[in-house]
Structure 1
Amino acid sequence: MSLFWRIFLLNAAVLVVAATLLLGPVTVSTPVLPGEALAVVVGLALMLVVSAFVLRIGLAPLQRLSRAMTTADLLRPGRRPEVTGPQEMADLITTYNTMLDRLEHDRACSTARVLSAQEAERQRIAQELHDEVGQTLTAVLLQLRRVADRAPGDLREEVALAQEATRGSLDEIRRIARRLRPGVLDELGLVSALRALAAEFTTHGVRVRPHFGGDLSALDDETELVLYRVAQEALTNTARHAAADRVTLALDETAGTVELRVRDDGKGIGDAPEGAGIRGMRERALLIGAALTVAPVGSGGTEVVLRAAVRDGADR
């Protein structure tokens, strides 16, 4: 039973007992006159209504706090219940807000450490794939070429098939290495990396149309990496789940805010709960204090928008 009904029923019990006494031995007349009974009943009803109204007002801050605690999401920071009500409730709401501030800060710090370690591990794996596996497959490809030159006619076709399989594996290794750690992002900057990303997904059956503003500020490395990873995850989700034909990948800057927009014409997200991909994008957005929205658009499709403040970075 809620606190409201507990207090209300207690008050009601007291008032009912008082009314019973007034209608019983403690009365102004015996027997009870109809007018007196009506006055007592009306007075009792009014007191109950007033008691309920006062309790509703007094417990409203506690109900707002309860709703805020139920809907709290550390991936959507900044939502705080208003500090109102009596001193005890105001102190309770203030304590909750302070606790939420600390939790959001601690989560942001721990997420930053985890993602930083993840990027370092990705870079190490990409480097090993490129240096070790890539070089090994390149050596195998050269050896097969020498074997093909000296192989009898009936074996050259099989050697050629082995060459094609090895070449395909080498291309796949390079593609995986680029996705783990895009070298073009470090070497040529964010716009070139996003163009390469759009071209990569276009070759996988989805037409990605890039659109970039002509006057973009230089961003710091962390912001560029977050923008790239969010675009990569959004395009990956589109290719896997959206059944889309066309996707728009846009990057613009307005009034000190850089905006990344990925919009598709697929089947939309509907009422499906957010998966690990979207939650991962939200965690990355928190690293740079950016705002991320994922919403349906038009009659179908989904739009992912990331807005981040422009922070000065080294010239690219």
Structure 2
Amino acid sequence: MSLFWRIFGLNALVLITATALLLGPITVSTPVLVTEAAVLTAGLAAMLIANAALLRVGLAPLQRLTRAMTTTDLLRPTARLTPGGHGEIAELITTFNTMLDRLEAERATSAARALSAQEAERRRIAQELHDEIGQTLTAVLLELKRVADHAPPPVGEEIRQVQETTRASLEEIRRIARRLRPGVLEELGLTSSLKALAGEFSTPGLTVRAHIDAHLPPLDHNTELVLYRVAQESLTNTARHAGATRVDLDLHRTSAGVRLRVRDDGHGTGGAAEGAGIRGMRERALLIGADLTLAPGPDGGTEVRLTIPTHSGRP
């Protein structure tokens, strides 16, 4: 039975019952007596209450569906609604669940393509920085050294200052290239790359400590890359915005897989909206079926936690 006919039938049942009562034990005099007016008023109130209760019960699944529609976020998959009600309502909820499945699958596919293209572009830019600009600056350093060796002392000192500036620029370019393309991840593995990342972000004002489990389960290349990028983005956000003095980077084995945790002692997010960096981490997590949470740390600051299920994650 359609929603229209169900609502119509409920209203008709209430009205037919009221009419039967008026034609049976309840009658109305002319003029209307006070007791009869009271009975009619009570009957009308009972009909309205019964109608409202029946409609609320019948339309409750639609209210649940409305709440789900307003709170659904494709970057935070949740359990699907259980089809409730009858007829069109149950069919509508089932269709909504199917639509969510399709949207999440399509988003995952498009995100995978976009992130794959992004990684390829990062590798290309890093290679050009290393091969083109890096080699050019190296040649400039050698030429400056040759000129400084033959220049008068005052001019030679100025040239050496230019040398130091050029050398600092070359180191910065190499640092950017390493961030764009984590060659250490491909050459030395995940553990060494995360320790190198912690050392790179450690400064006199910020201490980054890495604690890596020595017995991690086997992880494929995409999973290792997601772990590295999430750790890198978390440390970047901490260094830029958190005002922290200490960061703990932990990667350990769990009963179901592995878990990455980056915790700082900064001032937290302050309820600010998530930026592109955090949404990018969520998209990467979805690609490998991982769960990413961002919450205040137990002692203040912010804690980023990435939980990755693996088939080999047995203790």
TM-score normalised by the chain length of structure 2: 0.89
Say yes or no: does 1:118 pair with 2:118: yes
- Aligned residue number for residue 90 of structure 2: 90
* SS in structure 2 of the partner of residue 261 of structure 1: strand
CA contact (8 A) 2:208 2:248 kept: yes
Counterparts of residues 272-311 of structure 1 (less than 5 Å): 272-298=272-298, 300-310=300-310
Q: Which residues of 2 match residues 1-316 of structure 1 at below 5 A?
A: 27-203=27-203, 205-298=205-298, 300-310=300-310
Cα drift, residue 144 of structure 1: 1.1
One-letter amino acid of the structure 1 residue matched with residue 271 of structure 2: D
Matched residue SS, 1:273:
coil
- In structure 2, what is the Cα distance between the partners aligned to 1:141 and 1:132? 14
Distance 2:218 2:296 in 1: 31
Measured after TM superposition, the shift of residue 142 of structure 1 is: 1.0
- Following superposition, the deviation at residue 298 of structure 1 comes to 3.2
Q: Distance in 1 between matches of 2:81 and 2:36?
A: 47
- Of 61-70 and 298-307, more deviation after overlay is shown by 298-307
User: Would you say the 8 A contact 1:126–1:177 is kept in 2?
Assistant: yes
| CA shift for structure 1 position 299 | 5.1
Amino acid at match of 1:93: I
- Cα distance in 1 for partners of 2:182, 2:134 equals 16
Cα deviation, 1:205-242, whole Å, max 9, x if unaligned, reads 32111111121122100000000000000111111111
For residue 120 of structure 1, report the CA deviation from its aligned partner: 0.4
Deviation at 1:11? 5.9
Contact 1:72/1:79 (CA < 8 Å) preserved in 2? Answer: no
Q: Distance in 2 between matches of 1:118 and 1:136?
A: 26
Post-superposition offset of 1:118:
0.3
Is the contact between residue 264 and residue 303 of structure 1 (CA under 8 Å) also seen in structure 2?
A: yes
Q: Distance in 1 between matches of 2:204 and 2:236?
A: 10
8 Å contact 1:141–1:166 — kept in the other structure? yes
- Count how many residue pairs are aligned between Structure 1 and Structure 2: 298
TM-score, normalised with respect to structure 1: 0.89
Q: Distance in 2 between matches of 1:176 and 1:271?
A: 30
Residue 298 of structure 1 aligns to a residue whose secondary structure is coil
Equivalents in 2 of 1:41, 1:299: separation in Å? 62
Distance in 2, Cα, partners of 1:191 & 1:205: 24
Gaps of 5+ in 2: none
Q: Deviations over 1:107-137 (max 9, x none)?
A: 0000000000000010011011111111111
Alpha-carbon separation, structure 1, partners of 2:36 and 2:92: 45
Residue 92 of structure 2 aligns with an amino acid whose one-letter code is L
Shift of 1:291: 0.2
Paired residue type of 1:201: F
Change (3 A) 1:153 1:311: farther
1:63 offset after TM fit, Å? 0.6
Q: Deviations over 1:56-114 (max 9, x none)?
A: 11111001101111111110123422210112100001001101110110000000000
Give the secondary structure class of the aligned counterpart of 1:158: helix
Report deviation, 1:31. Answer: 2.2
Which amino acid is 2:273 matched to? P
Q: CA deviation at 1:27?
A: 4.8
Secondary structure of the structure 1 residue equivalent to 2:232: helix
Instruction: Name the stretch that deviates more: 222-231 or 265-274.
Output: 265-274
Give the drift of 1:33: 2.4
Partners of 1:235 and 1:35 lie apart in 2 by 78
| Cα RMSD after superposing both structures | 2.2
Is the 1:65–1:93 contact (alpha carbons within 8 Å) kept by the matching residues of 2?
yes
